[in-house]
Chains A and B, each alone.
Chain A
Amino acid sequence: MCEACGCQQHEERTEKEKVVDVHEQLLAANSKQAAANRHHIEKMGAVAINLISSPGSGKTSLLEQTIERLKDRLSIGVIEGDPETERDAERIRKKGVPAVQLTTGGGCHLDAPMVHGGLHVLEHMGKGRKFDLIFIENVGNLVCPAAFDLGEHQRVVLLSVPEGSDKPAKYPATFRSADLVLLTKIDLLPYFDFSLDEATAATKLLQPTIPVLPLSAEKGEGMDAWIDYLLGLAPH
């Protein structure tokens, strides 16, 4: 019993309590798996790109056009993330590229253990072929995917013209975590109140040195710079 106040709890807590200093990442398990994924991808001879954006900003269309332009030069593999359906992977497979569909069953982001499973399926689908570039298309969401390292080498965030140029200011964590920002669907600029200057300035307020590329996958404008960026990443 505690001598000061007579309670039983008090004494126990002061006598027996153990203070354990941990200083470990909260996402330690995810980070560990992400590091293993990166190693796995490098052993496959590839570089991985994590594509993050809102739903409908053109990630899959961009991939289709990218594959069209690069398929004779680079070996590409794709891991698709969606809450449901096989649709995106089917679109990619029509372009002649192996694509794994990960369905999260409602989950709002991909994490490193899911991608680990995806990499093994991709290797199986590739039947021993070597990959140069692996695209991981994240679940359409401008908030949650930012917190999860998947083992990618580059993180590319897309912002499409219909979404509005204020998005980097409103979703700073995602844009701050990007290595490259693509402003997509610029062929729609005449129809929307979207300012390329504002979107670029808002992004650079978060990360002054980040590259920002405007492009239209549909019409081809700006695609050359994106393709050059990818060719620069691919191992030679």
Chain B
Amino acid sequence: MHEMSLAHSMMQQVLALAREHKASQVNSITVLLGPFSGVVAESFAFAFEILKKNETCLHNAVLHLECPDPRYRCLGCGAETSLPLPGQGARAHLDFDFFTEKQCPACASTRLSPLGGRELILQQIRME
């Protein structure tokens, strides 16, 4: 449950920026969660909803989470490709198989090296 500490850390950053811009209210916060960041989007949103209750200027803040598909470079042919992670349902259904089936669409190699994807970035804040 490190989503709670992450949401807390984000909240501190947002509050500091709100002070800096002399805003009394934050309307929305946009955060990028990389596909390999190990952060569960639902838990992160849940933690934020709890934490924001303690801060008057965040009461109306809406959290937007951007969760892009992971990107890989194929060590076989060098092609760069983006492969979606299966959804929750699909993952439960396929279980271990989905993991072994990830292949380069160009040459079918399974030697795919992840390109980034560990980002956790505070992108934008709308405030007034």
Contact = CB atoms under 8 A, between A and B. Distances in A.
A77 to B, nearest CB: 26
B128 A21 contact: no
Most chain B CB atoms below 10 A, which of A166, A169, A204, A208? A208
Nearest to B99: A169
Contacts, number: 104
A25 B6 contact: no
Contact of A22 (B9, B120, B125): B125
- Rank and list the top 6 A-B pairs by shortest CB-CB distance, nearest first: A173-B38, A26-B120, A144-B2, A16-B128, A208-B111, A169-B99
Contacts of B110: 205
B77 interface: no
Interface of A: 12-13, 16-30, 108-109, 111, 143-144, 146-148, 166, 169, 172-174, 176-177, 202, 204-209
B56 interface: no
B100 to A, nearest CB: 7
B86 to A, nearest CB: 13
Main secondary structure of the interface of B (DSSP, over half): mixed
A174 B124 CA distance: 28
Interface residues of B, number: 38
Contact of A147 (B39, B102, B125, B127): B39
A27 B2 CA distance: 12
Interface in B93-117: 96, 99-100, 102, 110-114
Contacts of A143: 2, 38
B81 interface: no
A173 B127 contact: no
B121 A23 contact: yes
Contacts of A22: 13, 17, 122-125
9 contacts: A18-B21, A18-B128, A22-B13, A25-B120, A26-B6, A26-B13, A27-B9, A147-B39, A205-B110
Contacts of B13: 22, 24, 26, 28-29
B118 interface: yes
Contacts of B102: 205
B124 A206 contact: no
B37 A147 contact: yes
Given A17-B126, A144-B2, A205-B102, A24 B37 contact: no
Contacts of A20: 17, 21, 124-127
Contacts of A205: 99-100, 102, 110, 112
B9 A30 contact: yes
Contacts of A26: 6, 9-10, 13, 31, 120-122
Contact of B27 (A17, A24, A28, A147): A17
Contacts of B67: none
